Structures are given as C-alpha cells and as structure tokens.
Amino acid sequence: MPLPRTFIGYYRVSTAQQGTSGLGLEAQRRAVADYLARSGGKLVAEFTEVETGKGANALDRRPELKAALEACRRLGATLCIAKIDRLARNVHFVTGLIETGCDFVAADMPEANKVMIQMHAVMSEWERDQISARTKSALAAAKQRGVLLGVKGRENAAKANERRRADAQAHAAQLREQIGMYRERGYSQRKIADALNALGLKTRTGCEWTQKQVQRVMVRLDRELAFPANANSPWGSW
C-alpha cells in the first residue's frame, strides 16, 4: 500500500486581535482537515501566522510561512492552505512563492494548477485595487460635501445616509400628484418615465427618468409616505 501524501498546514489571520480570539483560524483548520480527509493526505505539521500580509515583501514578514516552506522542502511535503487568499492577493508575492519550488494546494480549489493560481491572484489584486479606488473616491466626495472624516467617520456616514434618504423622500413627495395622475390614467412605469422627461422634469440626481427610477419612486411613496395601495384606491396598486 502506498504511503499517504504528507502535508503541512499553514493558517493565517490578518490582525493580532483575530490571532488572539481564534477568529477565522478554526474555519481554516476545518477546511484543511476536510480536504485531507477527502484526499487521503496526512498532516505532519502546522504553522500559524498573524500579520497583515501587505506589501511586496510580505514573505519576509511572514516567519511562520518561511518556516513552513522550509519544512516542506525538508520533508518533501506539500503546503496546504484553506483558501488561496490566505497567502496573498499580490501577484508578485504569489509568483515568488511559486518560484520557491515548493508544492502547495488550496483546499477551496485543489484542482487549480500554478497558472490558475496566478490568474486568481491577478483578479484578486485587481479587485482590491478597484475597492481602494472606489473608497478613496467616496471619501473625497464626502469631504467635498463637508463631511468630517476621522474618528466620527461612522457617525458622519450615518448622518449623510439619513440626509440622502430625507432628500429622496422629499423629492418623491413633490412628484406624488404628478405620478398619481399618470397612474390613474393607466400609464405603465415606462410611459410615466417618458411623460416626466417630456415635461423636462429630472430625477433627484439631475438625470432623465427611466422605468426603474420611476419604480423606485413609487416604492418610496408607498413605503415611506403611506401612499394608498388598496384595491379601492384611485391610485391603484404599485
């Protein structure tokens, strides 16, 4: 009977708080254990890292990963992780890891080869960059609106959301009679949008009306302004 393949488990969390609480570690260990049970592998060692993983030199700041890779070379074992993003979302880092020559497998995508893993890293890095760009853009827009950022950022964000909701509600109220009249005439939502555009009326953001935007205003009128919606109402059902 051939000997089972040997594996070394590597688990990583991003903050000291997660490392202390064990948040995320148990799930990673369970994912690795389930994979080994399915594949008939044998776990010979485990390494746990607590760090951010940011930057091109992430491997230099991961002593546990370095130790795990050294153990893999020494024992001829395969590194096993729960998810590929537990290693990094940095293409340069993943490429460097592949170039170490150690075999590794992710329990969530064990069929993936090294090319697929690099492609996954490329998409993950792109997604991270897009999120960062959107966040910076939103913060800049909030700052232009006079929102104070920093310690009270969450509170300010809640207030900003409430202001947007109040503005949307007020705008919907202004259109109540106009939309109600069109609804009485049996206009579809798309035809209502065309009628509002013909009158030169704009949405709250200054755009032309579409069927979907009309639908949103109708829902808001019904939900937040107690717009009549019973069967006997001249407004009909929204």
Q: Per residue in 190-200, pLDDT tens?
A: 889 888 888 77
Mean pLDDT of 43-51: 89
The total of other beta-carbon atoms located within 10 Å of residue 193's CB is: 22
Mean pLDDT of 34-63: 80
**Residue 127, C-beta contacts closer than 8 angstroms, at least 6 positions apart:** 89
Q: Is 187 left (phi over 0), alpha (psi -120 to 50) or beta?
A: beta
- Cα dihedral value 182, 185, 190, 191, nearest 10: -90
In the prediction, which pLDDT does 2 show? 55
CATH of domain 6-125: 3.40.50.1390
In the prediction, which pLDDT does 98 show? 78
Place of tokens 């964000």: 157
Higher pLDDT, 118 or 102: 102
| Alpha-carbon gap, residue 154 to 145, rounded angstroms | 15
In the prediction, which pLDDT does 149 show? 62
Higher pLDDT, 227 or 221: 221
Burial of 26 (C-beta count, 10 Å sphere; 0-12/13-18/19+): exposed
Buried b (16+ CB within 10 A) or exposed e, 118-145: bebbeebbeeeeeeeeeeeeeeeebeee
Query: Letter for the amino acid at 191?
Result: K
In the prediction, which pLDDT does 72 show? 93
